[in-house]
Amino acid sequence: MNKKISLAAIVLSVLAVIIALWSVNKLPAAISSQKEDTLARILKTNTLTICYATWPPSVIKDPNTGELSGFLIDAIKRIAEDASLKLAYVESSWGGFAADINTGKCDAGVAGFYPMINRSTAVAFTQPFYFAGNNGVVKSGDNRFKKIQDLNRADIKIAVIQGEYADTYAKKYLPKAQLLVLESSADNTAPLVAVSAGQADVGLIMADVTKGYAKTHLEVRELFAEPYSVTPISWATRQADQQLLNFLTNGINYLESTGELDALAKKYNSTWFTEKKNYQLLAQ
C-alpha cells in the first residue's frame, strides 16, 4: 500500500514538473502575442503619426507645397522634438477623425477638436487646453438676428460644415432652420462663401474664421459682436491608449507652464484663450 502511494506521489511530482516546464516555455510566446502598447511602439519606431484637419491659424496647409504650420502643429512638433520623435501626418476631417484614429490610420488627432459627448464614445480626449468662440456671418444689410435662437425659423437657411461644431449645434438647438451641410474640406470659409453667394442666410463657423472673412469680404458682416457659444479644444487618442493620452497631456501641460503655448498662439494671431471667458452669451 505504501509502495503504491509512493509511486503515485512520484508520478504526480513528475507531472507537476512537466506542467511547470511547459508553462515556462509557453510564457514568452503568450507575452509576445499580446498587442504592443501604442506609446511603446511609437518610442520603438521613433515615429508619432497624427491625424489633422486644417483650421487656420491652428493648422495651416500650404496649398502649393502641402507643408503644415500653425500654432498647434508647432506645439506637437515641440513635444515630438523633446521626446526625440519624428512626426508623420495623415489628413483627416471633422467628421472622420475618430474613425481614422480607431482604424489605425494615425496614433492621435492633433487639431482644434471639440470633445463633444458623442465623440467621447469613440475616442479619448486630453484635458481641454484652449477655448474657442463660435460665430457666423450674414449679409451686411441683414439685421434680423439679435440672438442665436432667432435663427430657429423654417424660412432661414444656415450653412455649416459636416461634423464641425456648428453642424451639431444647429441640428440640436436650431431644428426648425434649413441646413445646408457642406462637405469637410481644407477651406473652412465654405459656409461663409455660401452667404456671399446668396446660397444661405447665415454661415456658422469658428469666430477666428468669421472675423478674418468679414474683414476681407465687405458684402457680409459678423453675425454677433460676441461668440454665441464657447467650446473647449482638445487632442484625441484611442480610448485604450491611456499612456499615449498621458504623454500628450503632459506635453501640453509643459508648454502651458513655460508660456510656449500662448506664445505660439500669439505668433499666429489666434483669438483662442486658455481660460473660459464668461461671455454674456447671446443665446440667453
Q: What is the pLDDT of residues 208-266, one digit of tens each?
A: 899 999 999 999 999 999 999 998 999 999 999 999 999 999 999 999 999 999 999 99
Q: Are residues 247 and 116 in the same domain?
A: yes
Cβ burial, residue 181 (10 Å; 0-12/13-18/19+)? middle
For residue 24, pLDDT over 50 is answered with: no
Q: Is residue 256 part of a domain?
A: yes
Q: How many domains does the chain have?
A: 2
Residue 193 in grid coordinates: 462663401
Q: Are residues 46 and 173 in the same domain?
A: no
pLDDT digits (tens, 9 = 90+) for 218-230: 999 999 999 999 9
Q: 145: pLDDT confidence band, cut at 50, 70 and 90?
A: very high
Q: Is residue 13 part of a domain?
A: no
Q: Are residues 69 and 81 in the same domain?
A: yes
Q: Is residue 156 part of a domain?
A: yes
* Cα 157 → chain centroid: 28
Q: Is residue 83 part of a domain?
A: yes
Q: Is residue 49 part of a domain?
A: yes
Q: Are residues 91 and 43 in the same domain?
A: yes
pTM of the model: 0.75
Residue 258 maps to which CATH number? Answer: 3.40.190.10
Q: Is residue 53 part of a domain?
A: yes
Domain of residue 223, residue span: 131-229
Q: Are residues 147 and 221 in the same domain?
A: yes
82 Cβ contact partners less than 8 Å away, ≥ 6 residues apart = 251, 254
Q: In 74-150, which ranges are E strands? A: 86-91, 108-113, 123-125, 130-139
